[in-house]
Amino acid sequence: MIAPAMGPGAERAGEGMIPGGAASPLRAIATLRGVGKTFPSGVTAVKNLDLDIREGEFVSLLGPSGCGKSTALRMLAGLVPPSQGTIAWRESRAPGDLSFVFQEPTLMPWTTVAGNVRLPLMLLGRDKQSAVPRLQQILERVGLGAFALAYPRELSGGMKMRVSIARALVTDPKLLLMDEPFAALDEITRFKLNDDLLALWQELRKTVIFVTHSVFESVYLSQRIVVMTPRPGRVFQEIVIGAPFPRDGSFRTSAEYAALCRTVSQALAQASGPAS
Amino acid sequence: MTERTLRILLPAIALAIGVLAWDLVVRIKGIPPFVLPSPGLVFAKLFSDWPILGPSLAVTLLTTLQGFILALIGGVGLAVLFNQSRLVEYSLYPYAVALQVTPVVAIAPLLLIYLPQPAAVLACAWIVAFFPVLANTTLGLNSVDRNLVDLFRLYGASRRQILLHLKLPSALPYILGGVRIAGGLALIGAVVAEIAAGSAGAGSGLAYRIAESGYRLDIPRMFAALLLLSVVGVAIFFALTLLSHLVLRRWHESALRAEG
């Protein structure tokens, strides 16, 4: 869809603005209220974070580097306990219901692609034989069917990240947390992985929480962008991106996309304040 | 000529020149064999004295191998223990360091009083060789990718799973680095202890043969035994380098550079 210059996109973004955190609680699978994190070093990374995560949505946490968005994600994952506030889940979670994709591919260099993707199944005690079809299926799905026996060192940066995503999906999680997964990749690879991630999300309908410092990436991918303030991080503004899916290259070059990016950039600039 | 051929050819030429110069000096100056034997004589001794040198070589090799394997088990075992229990680490690590920095040649006579000779020699080989394995393994176990630890925790991995499937594989390149050092040191430890022991007998190693030849002024045999010892040292180093390369070649940077 190609929108006329400067029009509906900006308005839609304007309409969609929601005051921080006051989203419908009915469909929320996770609710954060007053969540804060102060590290032993005395650094307060996150303060008074109110956020609802709704089932099946693609939401981005957008903010400048060091605004505590990664810390927020790690608290959601249960890797870091919050210092204040509560994180309430609608359902209790078992290991494997929640997956994490790190900024680095974070693969084990001593084992093959298949060995890396099998890791979550092994740690959950699933039996090795029954895992084989699942491994092949997920590797095919991320386009690495022919690389099951390759070692991470033999792969490009983009392929390593695909392995990392396959590993995150292998347990069929309900929630996928991604911490700037494509930040270290070149633009061509990043665009390709953005498209593939969107296709996966539409097919599998996971809830995705995506941390990024790229306005363009967040607008392209998300249904909702949570703009965060610099440290200590809290929600500055939530912006709904109403553009329909599937989104592709034509969305990326549309005026609507450009207008949305401008709106989000302005919000980010306001969030960062004059001092930055 | 490729880099690789030069790397083999140049040391070979240097060796040939060195041996030739040695031979010429002995011939021209007419140096007697009990002062400096000619290279030819050393080689001849190697073969004529093989019935004595061969079994001694076997003894030293066996001691070195045993010391090395025990050092590997002890070094990795202690490092894992230290990694799992900070209490044990803080209590014992300083003494592991103390054992390492005390010269083994000074410990050997004491060990020879308390232990039978073969056991004392083995203990010396172990003391010298285990520390690099311990130190390197400790470093390796602490050098695990933090994100991978988080990933393991996310899937509820047990301590045992983290140790077996994450920490030990991560530490493998470090362990192999320590092992390469330990191989050479086990030989040194065994030789030092044999010299300190200095007693004759059926179970006497190469170092003892060197000391014994010295007393008898059999300098050619001394050289022959020395030659064997350095060949053993070089062979151990290359064998362990090859092992390290074979284990790591699919994944580690150090092996990548060796290939290229």
Q: What residues of chain B lie within 8 A of the CB of A108, using their CB?
A: 148, 166, 169
Q: Which of B155, B158, B172, B254 to mutate to test the interface with A (most CBs of A within 10 A)?
A: B155
Contact at CB, A102 and B157, closer than 8 angstroms: no
pLDDT tens digits, residue range B200-213? 554 688 988 888 88
Kindly report which listed range (A2-16, A228-242, B218-232) carries the lowest average pLDDT score: A2-16
Q: Is the pLDDT of residue B23 over 80?
A: yes
Domains observed in chain A: 8-93+175-272 (3.40.50.300), 106-173 (no CATH)
CA distance B151 to chain A (A): 7
Contact at CB, B147 and A78, closer than 8 angstroms: no
Residues of A near B (Cβ–Cβ under 8 Å) read 74, 77-79, 95-96, 98-100, 102, 104, 106, 108-111, 119-120, 122-124, 151-153, 171
Contact at CB, A96 and B148, closer than 8 angstroms: no
Residue A152 CA to residue A141 CA, distance in Å, equals: 18
pLDDT tens digits, residue range B150-203? 999 999 999 999 999 999 999 999 999 999 999 999 999 989 888 888 765 546
8 A C-beta contact, residue A227 and residue A271:
yes
pLDDT tens digits, residue range B219-242? 999 999 999 999 999 999 999 999
Contact at CB, A123 and B166, closer than 8 angstroms: no
CA distance B2 to chain A (A): 27
Contacts of A250 (CB under 8 A, 6+ apart): A1, A2
In which element (H, E) is residue A84 found?
strand A84-89
Q: What residues of chain A lie within 8 A of the CB of B146, using their CB?
A: none
8 A C-beta contact, residue B184 and residue B233:
yes
ipTM of the complex: 0.84
Give the number of beta-carbon pairs within 8 Å between A and B.
Answer: 54
pTM of the model: 0.82
pLDDT tens digits, residue range B59-96? 999 999 999 999 999 999 999 999 999 899 899 889 98
Residue B175 CA to residue B163 CA, distance in Å, equals: 14
Q: Is the pLDDT of residue B106 over 80?
A: yes
Contact at CB, A122 and B150, closer than 8 angstroms: no
Say if strands A224-228 and A58-62 run parallel, antiparallel, or are unpaired.
parallel
**Structure token digits, residue B187:** 């030989």
